[in-house]
Amino acid sequence: MNYLKALFKLKLKENILMDLEAKKKALRMINYGLYLMTCKDGEKIDARTVSWVTQMSFEPPLVTVGVHKESDMVNLVRDKKSFAISVLGNEQKAIGGAFFKNCEVDGNKINGYETKEGTTGNPIFLDTPGYFECELFKVVETDGDHILILGKVVDAGVNNEMPSLILKETGWNYGG
């Protein structure tokens, strides 16, 4: 094996090597939607673009969200014990991009986009195709750089029939 190839290998166990570039490409083949995760506890509000979201149970209806351990969202959700997810539509890439940074709140707008208060007290974005609100079910710590936030869906709504925005279609990468 030449030196360059060796740089892109990771030794997992004795005599087992993983090609890091292949790992990255393979993991990026997993399809993800794009969502806005929100939480409001008193005067504290956070809204973030997230992609690692999936339903994990029918009964009770549970979803899981992967959130970076250093995100303000983690402690806010732990304190509030609820959160909301607004589903981004396929024409809403700009909205998703607006929530890679900190939130600016002006009345019922976050980063310039209108919201309403959901039944859990968390912001719901008005122009997104749909949303669901969750009570915190469990936080699962990991050895990785993200934790899993599990939520029990307690309310949901559909605003329009716009297809969901898929991460791969944006040209952005998050994973691998």
- Across the range 48-56, mean pLDDT stands at 96
pLDDT in tens, 91-108: 999 999 999 988 999 999
pLDDT band at 48 (very low <50, low <70, confident <90, very high): very high
Q: According to the model, what pLDDT value does residue 4 have?
A: 44
Question: Which fold, 32-170?
Answer: Pnp Oxidase; Chain A (2.30.110)
3-class secondary structure, 23: helix
> Is 31's pLDDT higher than 50?
yes
Cβ-contact 31, 167 below 8 angstroms: yes
Give residue for tokens 């005599």.
15
The structure's pTM equals 0.88
Average pLDDT, the chain: 91
Nearest to 51 by CA among 88, 20, 76: 88
For the chain, domain boundaries: 1-30, 32-170
The sign of the CA dihedral 117, 122, 123, 128 is negative
Q: According to the model, what pLDDT value does residue 173 have?
A: 83
